Structure 1
């Protein structure tokens, strides 16, 4: 089945521009070009690679306004948020340009008798990156940055609704001086993705996306004996144990939940609140949600909500909320689907039955799910009752109390008294059905390299 690559404005659901899916011959040409480029790119110095990647980072920053408008039209991200994302993407690329050589230096292996040994970190070859639409620049940067600095070459298969973003990224790398074939943007079909993964020239695959997509890609990669890194979303717990200012606590929780119109893997999708402050907290969340008005992502204002990524995504949210209500949840406000576009009004949902199908689902949109608990133990149990384990946060005026609870939450990333910290230096990844492997930080430099033992006999 072929995918249709297009710019389809979520404000009105109109198709602005369509792009041709690659032919099978073009896919073979891409594989050949990536493999050929690897031969020389793997031998370039870290200094040469860093110079090119630093230039790419500079170009991203210089063009952030232009690029943010592309994202706004493709997937509805308000332009200030788009500019923030593009700046962060540039920071990530620069992080690897600055650190890869030192991190990848030969490491002496101690305690070896009869000879000397080191561990070398060597590039593997062409890699496939399958990237999602929710952060069209940031997601690519955290995959391409470390792997290009490692000396690997990259084939990018971006989301079908982000063809202009992916083309713009490829253009920036080319203008920065990256040799031909080192970074290739391809509009591939599902069948062609399988062809790429199976090809012996491909040495690994990284996917950020849905659990279903991750399972399919992991199965294909496993069959082909290829390593993969998967980031597959989450239902992050956001635990509020107590607060001196409940209104502010609600405002902070709302700001985190509404970020990127609720379409972030690390959104606080399950807000867990102690029963003694629950009613006041929910009332304030309802008030905040009802204060929002519909806005235009290209002309953003205060207290506005924007469309989700596509009409289909909005319809999926509508179906999820209706099924949750049918199961016993209470829709306190919002949840109204636009007649034509992809607007879905901010919603507050409570009383979702624990253990129900809806409880385990990821609501990828502006929906605040709130739960009441009576104890720390109940909060921890509820937080860990999830198929996912990506991020999370715990809040308390007593830091030690928050740390004690946070240390018992089963997740790849946990925060105390902050919704989420953003830094290229922090490892990003999860456990359970949230996937495996790590992006960002220097750990990302270790995912797709040959950690070679090099022994010299005395």
Structure 2
């Protein structure tokens, strides 16, 4: 894929960029290594001052960077501005809490004495330059949820962003520079996917984080494993949305629409598989399909647009293949399901029912505004359907029965269980998945410690 801004609303190529050559990459790697030697010794107060300044600038820039994101990957501009504000919030959260989260820990006195020590401390120290391989769907948020904790921990960042969001990638580097971070603290590498392996093999790069496709995750994990380097992977999901008879159906159906089509349906934590108890299946389906039909599909720059174009032409083709495969295998199309005429990579909100295990969409992630409906006879069958997926990122459950809440929280195979609400990432809560959704955690104290050397300091009498 060329490094270029291609407007998904009309297919027009607006800007193209040359990939960085070996000489420039070497300069940047040298700079990252040299910067880390001094940046790692800065105080939490100084890092927080710089990160708070970056948050201020980002909020000031939200209109401009919102338009850039929408132009590059098609999300409704209202959502793009909200993404910028969310990033500023996360920056401020880590600026306020990093020192506490990474404070030295003192083991229990009995264990200290048992070890023969006078004092023992557990200290969190930064690793060094961390490579971040990031996707296009949340082009600011995916980066900031890595960068804010990594920078506050004393690491420096190297960003390899998706090739279709180069302006956003360059904006991020510029943002941190304008905030006062020295040049080598956070750098954007304009490179293709083929260059990632060599950079990850470089001894100056100490760890990597990737959000993206399963094949990309396998490639990074394989190289990192060979080089014995820490990685955090978030590889997508096919999140279940379980609705039980005690649920508030009106609210559950309304939230279901948002949960499915947020970011034009191109979200790893978007609800994708709607598993509804048979007693309320028909009532929920009627409300949900009506809500999906009511969405305005159109120009993402218009304030009232609910669903814009998919980010890439290939992404739309992949989604169409999943829908067509399901239709051929007997799925019922309750709404949508046909590519509209005209320019741009649009696809309508679509609901499919009668899904079977033989259909690809049952086991593959539908990255776009396509929902699948399942009927479950009881909680046991709901859990079986929900867990019958190679992914395990997040999950949603709608019930007012406390016993059912505990049952689903115990048995759903996912990194999070959201009850009577849709999944949303927050800086204070750990984020990540199990199974083929990846490993490791972002955000919260767990996220900031992922790229730290957890050091035991033992002192004798």
- The size of the alignment, in residue pairs, is 455
Q: 1:384 to 1:257 in 2, by over 3 A?
A: same
Partner of 1:45: 43
1:192 aligns with 2:195: yes
1:118 aligns with 2:116: no
* 1:65 CA drift (Å): 0.9
Q: 1:107 to 1:64 in 2, by over 3 A?
A: same
Supply the distance in 2 between the matched residues of 1:357 and 1:390 (Cα, whole angstroms).
Answer: 19
Partner of 1:384: 387
User: Could you give the per-residue CA deviations for residues 42-87 of structure 1, whole angstroms, max 9, x where no partner exists?
Assistant: 1111111110011001111111111100011000111111111111
User: TM-score by structure 1 length?
Assistant: 0.96
Partner of 2:160: 157
Secondary structure at 2:280 match in 1: helix
Which segments of 5 or more consecutive residues in structure 1 lack a partner in the other structure? none
Partner of 2:295: 292
* 1:284 CA drift (Å): 2.5
Secondary structure at 1:166 match in 2: helix
* 1:406 CA drift (Å): 3.2
Partner of 2:320: 318
Supply the distance in 2 between the matched residues of 1:222 and 1:431 (Cα, whole angstroms).
Answer: 18
Partner of 1:72: 70
Supply the distance in 1 between the matched residues of 2:459 and 2:441 (Cα, whole angstroms).
Answer: 32
1:24–1:192 contact (8 Å) kept in structure 2: no
User: Could you give the per-residue CA deviations for residues 104-129 of structure 1, whole angstroms, max 9, x where no partner exists?
Assistant: 12212331332222111111110100
User: TM-score by structure 2 length?
Assistant: 0.96
* 1:28 CA drift (Å): 1.2
1:450 aligns with 2:449: no
Equivalent in 128, 132, 145 of residue 129 of structure 1: 132
* 1:295 CA drift (Å): 1.8
Secondary structure at 2:279 match in 1: helix
Supply the distance in 2 between the matched residues of 1:131 and 1:171 (Cα, whole angstroms).
Answer: 17
User: Could you give the per-residue CA deviations for residues 314-347 of structure 1, whole angstroms, max 9, x where no partner exists?
Assistant: 1111111111222222222212224441100110
Note the 1:53-452 alignment, pairs <5 A: 53-110=51-108, 111-112=111-112, 113-115=115-117, 116-243=119-246, 245-301=248-304, 304-339=306-341, 340-354=343-357, 356-452=359-455
Supply the distance in 1 between the matched residues of 2:194 and 2:301 (Cα, whole angstroms).
Answer: 35
CA RMSD of aligned residues (A): 1.4
Q: Relative to structure 2, which stretch is displaced further, 415-424 or 159-168?
A: 415-424
Supply the distance in 1 between the matched residues of 2:409 and 2:459 (Cα, whole angstroms).
Answer: 47
1:286–1:348 contact (8 Å) kept in structure 2: yes
Supply the distance in 1 between the matched residues of 2:2 and 2:190 (Cα, whole angstroms).
Answer: 9
Which segments of 5 or more consecutive residues in structure 2 lack a partner in the other structure? none
Supply the distance in 2 between the matched residues of 1:266 and 1:372 (Cα, whole angstroms).
Answer: 21
* 1:405 CA drift (Å): 2.6
* 1:294 CA drift (Å): 2.5
